[in-house]
Structure 1
Amino acid sequence: MFRSRSRRSFLKSTSLAVAGAAASRKLSFADAPSALAAPPALQQFGYGEVELLAGPLRDQFERNHAFYAALDVDRLLKPFRQRAGLPAPGDDMGGWYSWAPLGDLDKLPNNGFAPGHSFGQYLSGLSRDYAASGLPSTREKVHNIVKAFGPAISEDFWRDNRFPAYTYDKISIGLLDAHTLTGAPDALKILDKTLDSVQKHLPPGGISRAEQYARPHRDESFCWDEPYTLPENAFIAWQRGAGQRYRGLAMRFLADSWYYDPLAAGENVLSGKHAYSHVNCLSSAMQAYFVLGNQKHLRAAQNAFEFLRTTQSFATGGWGPDENFRVPGSGEVGESLGKTHSSFETPCGSYAHFKITRYLIRATKDSRYSDSMERVLYNCILGVRPIQADGHGFYYSDYSNDGSKFYHPYKWHCCTGTFSQITADYGISAYFNDGNGVYVNLYVPSRVYWRRAAGRVTLTQQTRYPHHPTTSIAVALDAPTAFPIYVRIPEWAGPKTTVAVNGKRFLSGAEPGVFATLQRTWSNGDRIEIEFDMPTTLEAVDPQHPNLLAPMHGPLALFSVGPIPTDLRREDLLRMTQVARGSTDWQTKTATGALTLRPFTAINDEHYRLYLALPS
């Protein structure tokens, strides 16, 4: 059931709360450097220190915040209460989320497939939403959920449960975020109770899916759990004061022997593996690196990400057709265009992608990871259709030869959980700092509040990037202060990219693929303006299909809509232009007709095609 409060009144109160709360609160789960053997070089800002301004990211964040804040607590808790033998009022959520006896699955296809699996993600998303918005009603909602969940979790919940590790992992981050970001009473005690309840139902360690198949199992679906992703949130629990047992839990579930060790040695072991969970697993490697200081885990994450980028990815930044990694050099990624409409598990994959790129940026200050995050932002997650009231949500992006946007047939699937988290994380992905300077990571309408020993600094970014190739950043501070501001120059940026300060050119022909340093004494009212030289390029789907090409303009993948001229050539695509400045429509003409192209965010019900077959 949904509250009667209108979305309009919710959004109005959210906007008022942001303005008053963002500058005065620091709500963050940044790692405590004293607890880390290898502290990250860059720190995240708190959720309350970054404000999204009017634009597509803000719209998507507010829409999700309103939706998840309206979920009925009784419905969320129903499968847990049922298994605990408690009164369980409220309607079933249905779909994957509800509990059902295993024998009933054939009667109600996929109902009860993963009871309560996304509960922790909804709790985490709401906690992050509160930290970003400061809306008291959201904090109250989180506290009510945590209070009601405590009595409902029991060992019986885990009996005949396909995914005990997966579900516990999501519950753990939900309770941790509720504790850290909203101050929910007893959240850590309830986390302990949850771990106590699930302990005997977890496997002996972070075993692979192949090892799960080798163990006794009821049916194949019981081999799809994801215990190898547990260390990330277990390490976070230890850092946030949950206790030493969580550090031990993290160590126990590290996927060293079959995943991190070969990856660290430069062996590409991705092929055949479930795509989302094994990218998510890389975030556990990064937490292991920060906490334990073992360079092996950093190398494993870096090498895996390079394999992901160069052997598994589409031009959009998405990866994993049919949720599986393919054999490098086999041409299977290109072949998938004619075989499946399930090209990229978008909210889940985007969430995992944002997390691992944030970790890698913070560890290395390498802006190439930022470029990759940017691709996934504009070509994947920002174009996802809104979740529907009955729980039907967007799952797969379709890069097939006849693509379309569609909802998954099953309700309350895994992507409805990660969708709530990634939109809450947009702000903390936009900026970082190293204690001395601030790094502008994403070019999005936003404001960051930075507290320094020398005084407060506010950067306000106004932009319609990437449809306009410019951004403007206004600097506000208490007194003139010398410090660096680092602005990302994307790897694709052309030689005419310029950076100006107060109307005077500061950098010309800035080196692409780095954070450019703007070191000066800044004064209140200073303004940074960046104009990007955005080239048009063509990217092959894989080396085995060199003539299957996706048109790119800067970070944007452009999808063909409508008829495709039969005489279309590479040079025709390379001279495509925007219909008007700032337009989301692009066009090129041939002797037999015109071709229209659009970014993923501008596509609605029309069919489209990303990769075009072109003559050599």
Structure 2
Amino acid sequence: MKRSRRQFLKAGAAAGSAAVLSRTVRSFAQLPAKDVVAPEISQFDYADVQLLDGPMLTQFNQNHAFFLALDDDRLLKPFRQKAGLPAPGEDMGGWYNFSPDFDPPKNMTGYIPGHTFGQYLSGLSRAYAVTGSKPTQEKVQRLVRGFSEAVTPKFYEGYCLPAYTFDKMNCGLIDAHEFAGDPQALAVLNHATDAVLPFLPDRALNRAEQAARPHPNIAWTWDETYTLPENLYLAYKRGAGDRYRDLAARYLQDRDYFDPLSRGENVLPGQHAYSHVNALCSAFQCYLTTGSEKHLHAARNGFDFVLTTQSFATGGWGPDETFRKPDSGDLGASLTKTHSSFETPCGAYGHFKISRYLLRSSGDSRYGDSMERVLYNTILGALPIQEDGQSFYYSDYNDSGSKFFHQDKWPCCSGTFPQITADYGISSYFRSSRAVYVNLYVPSKLSWKQGGANCVLTQQTQYPLIPETSMDLKLDRPETFAMMLRIPAWAGPKTRVMVNGKAVQAGLEPGKFMAVSRTWKSGDRIEIQFDMPTRLEAVDPQHPNTVALVHGPLVLFARTDAPLKSTRAEMLAVQQRSPGSDIWTVGETQFSPFSSIGREKYRLYHDIS
């Protein structure tokens, strides 16, 4: 078939790009670098955990199918446009494409073109690692190839958030390399890094420092250089080259964030919530890569401040995306002032990441407790992404709450949503040389090798609607190790653990992992029956009578926005309609978990006598 001159030139350009990339792979790709600190507890691989039928698998499958079907040309369009290449496909719209209408904060159309491309690439790469889906791997590699042809510094000319968007591209490319086996991804990353560096400051800047610099509009003051180190350290450790370790150190926000946090000073109030939780992951990666105890303390202390001074009963935090001053009553006051209570997919993604890191370093089950709370009361209730890019963004804890989509299409939460749902499996179980940690009680199958035995654990459960779970083990030979079972801090005194029908109570303590050590053999079964007490949790100390109704790990939302006229005793007498039901009642008022709430009005907190 005769080709046009344009087709010939385009093919030649692509071949030239591939040749350059091939040389770059040889010059940049290195052996993966090992962590200086290797926590005893580690993650399983994505392929080791298979979610079984349940709401987590449903969410993962929805996101996987959605992004697998999203048109490649549309995803690549803003990069091709800036590179002067043919750019077929419809505009994505919303935040994703270049637009002359961008006029922040009045009009956010065209806010950060291409900003979520790296996250979509990351989510697909992780989905491939979970499922082994060949079409998913092929899509990842097509997107990397298409992006490689459009890498140019021109993309960042007049671009308001270069660090923010590059961080996501970095994550997507190193995940394409690590989880989807893309041979070009690290070379493309090095080109992309060269393209963005002229547009980055010499060090991490806080928002006040950015606001003090000349800027054409307010959006230029919102860049997040302080989140860069996490993925820069990961790029270094995955073989992208030593410069990524050096760049990571350059962008650590030590002076006004990690240094005071490491000393126990709470500097969260007034900060942008999600990005500063995400930055704690950078501190932890610094600790793993360099052994810096200061950064470990900063990550621990910072997250402790989130858990103890910033969190709603749901585990969500950051009304209007801002951390509040402790003991100010601002959390309670937000219930009547805003509907933007928790930036849900982004916040849950960052929360799960730092929880996994800190659990691995400490073995402390309260990080698992916090994951469980965020899982059931925030992210599992997120509305699915719509075909046109409408995305669930905020959980609404206002006294007249509802579920709604963000006003702009393709916002940041459309990128973190597929990432966190792909991470559900690796958040559910952990391992050490002598133990397996059961962190989340979810329908799932875990396959691994323990000592000389090939092992499979199958967990069947309708937890937390039914307060029990069972785990069946298959081993091709007996093996001695410990099963570490997370006993939630809320667990009541009637909580029971049984192995092969016999009670095992030694070591059962709420708020800790319970070690069940024995020589396990095929056919062994673990059963847990949870005593789920009901309690009332105040929104903050300044509003002690403004409370949420909590049953075990579940926060129960009233399916009405009418004020509830109940006493504490009446609230605590709430009854589940039947075992396994998602409806509870207090008098005539129905309550349900967040995941069962539809588009009706609801109420989280209640003023009671």
The two structures share one fold, judged by TM-score above 0.5? yes
Aligned residue for 1:148? 146
> Matched residues in 2 for 1:287 and 1:257: separation?
18
| Map of 1:519 onto structure 2 | 517
Deviations 1:490-524 (A, max 9, x none): 01111111100000001268201111000001110
What secondary structure does 1:583 align onto? coil
How do residues 455-474 of structure 1 correspond to structure 2 at under 5 angstroms? 455-474=453-472
Over aligned residue pairs, what C-alpha RMSD do you find? 1.5
1:185-206 alpha-carbon deviations (Å, 9 max, x no partner): 2110000000000001011111
- In structure 1, what is the equivalent of residue 308 of structure 2? 310
Alignment of 1:232-247 (within 5 A): 232-247=230-245
Give, in whole Å, the separation in 2 of the partners of 1:348 and 1:64.
Answer: 15
CA contact (8 A) 1:496 1:508 kept: no
Shift of 1:567: 3.8
Match of 2:181 among 183, 191, 194: 183
Q: Distance in 2 between matches of 1:199 and 1:508?
A: 57
Q: Are 1:71 and 2:65 an aligned pair?
A: no
Deviations 1:344-372 (A, max 9, x none): 00000000000000000011110001000
- Which aligned pairs between 1:123-522 and structure 2 lie closer than 5 A? 123-507=121-505, 510-522=508-520
* Cα gap change, 1:67 to 1:108, in 2 (>3 Å): farther
- Secondary structure of the 1:399 match is coil
Most deviating of 509-518 and 68-77: 509-518
Please report how far the alpha carbon of residue 181 of structure 1 lies from its aligned counterpart in structure 2 after TM superposition: 0.7
What SS is found at the alignment partner of 1:351?
A: helix
Aligned residue type for 1:276:
Y
Q: Give the partner amino acid of 2:594.
A: F
- Separation in 2 of the partners of 1:417 and 1:85? 26
Structure-1 residue corresponding to 2:8: none
CA gap 1:271/1:107 in 2 versus in 1, 3 angstroms = closer
Q: Secondary structure at the match of 1:35?
A: coil
Which consecutive aligned stretches of 4+ in structure 1 deviate over 2 angstroms post-superposition?
103-109, 562-567
1:53-96 per-position Cα deviation (integer Å, ceiling 9, x unaligned) = 01100011001100000011100010001111111010000000
Structure 1, unaligned runs of 5 or more: 1-31
Supply the distance in 1 between the matched residues of 2:483 and 2:476 (Cα, whole angstroms). Answer: 16
**Residue matched to 2:605:** 611
**Distance verdict in 2 for CA 1:33–1:562, change over 3 Å:** same
Please list the CA deviations of residues 234-273 of structure 1 after superposition, one character each: whole Å capped at 9, or x if unmatched. Answer: 0000100000000001000001111001001010000000
**Cα offset for 1:36?**
1.5
TM-score (norm 1): 0.92
Give the letter for the 1:156 counterpart. K
Distance, in Å, in 2 between the alignment partners of 1:579 and 1:343 is 29
- What is the CA–CA distance in structure 1 between the aligned matches of 2:197 and 2:64, rounded to whole Å? 33
Query: Aligned partners of 1:406, 1:421: CA distance in 2, in Å?
Result: 21
The letter of the residue matching 2:116 is S
SS of the residue 1:520 aligns to: strand
Output one character per residue of 1:201-227: Cα deviation in whole Å (capped at 9) or x when no partner: 011111211111122222221010100
Structure 2, unaligned stretches of length 5 or more? 1-30
Name the SS of the counterpart of 1:507 in structure 2.
coil
Letter in 2 for 1:609: R
Quick check: 213-222 or 328-337, which moved more?
213-222
Q: Which residue identity does 1:70 align to in structure 2?
A: A
Please name the residue that 1:91 is paired with: 90
CA contact (8 A) 1:229 1:280 kept: yes
The percentage of counterpart residues that share the same residue type is 57
CA contact (8 A) 1:495 1:510 kept: no
Following superposition of structure 1 onto structure 2, how do residues 534-553 of structure 1 map, counting pairs within 5 Å?
534-553=532-551
Shift of 1:577: 1.2
Alpha-carbon distance in structure 2 between the residues aligned to 1:488 and 1:106: 46
The answer to whether the 8 A contact 2:487-2:511 is kept is yes
Give TM-score scaled by structure 2 length.
Answer: 0.93
Q: Report how many aligned residue pairs link the two structures.
A: 579
- Whether the 8 Å contact between 1:497 and 1:508 is mirrored in structure 2 is no
**Contact (CA 8 Å) 2:564, 2:607: kept in 1 or not?**
no
Q: How does 1:103-122 map onto structure 2 within 5 Å?
A: 105=103, 109-122=107-120
Query: Which residue of structure 2 aligns with residue 3 of structure 1?
Result: none
Measure, in 2, the Cα distance between the counterparts of 1:567 and 1:538.
15
Please give the alpha-carbon distance, in whole angstroms, between the structure 2 residues aligned to 1:88 and 1:100.
15
- Residue 531 of structure 1 deviates from its aligned partner by 0.5
C-alpha contact 1:392 1:407 (8 A) present in aligned 2 = yes
SS at match of 1:473: strand
Q: Specify the alignment match of 2:36 in structure 1.
A: 37
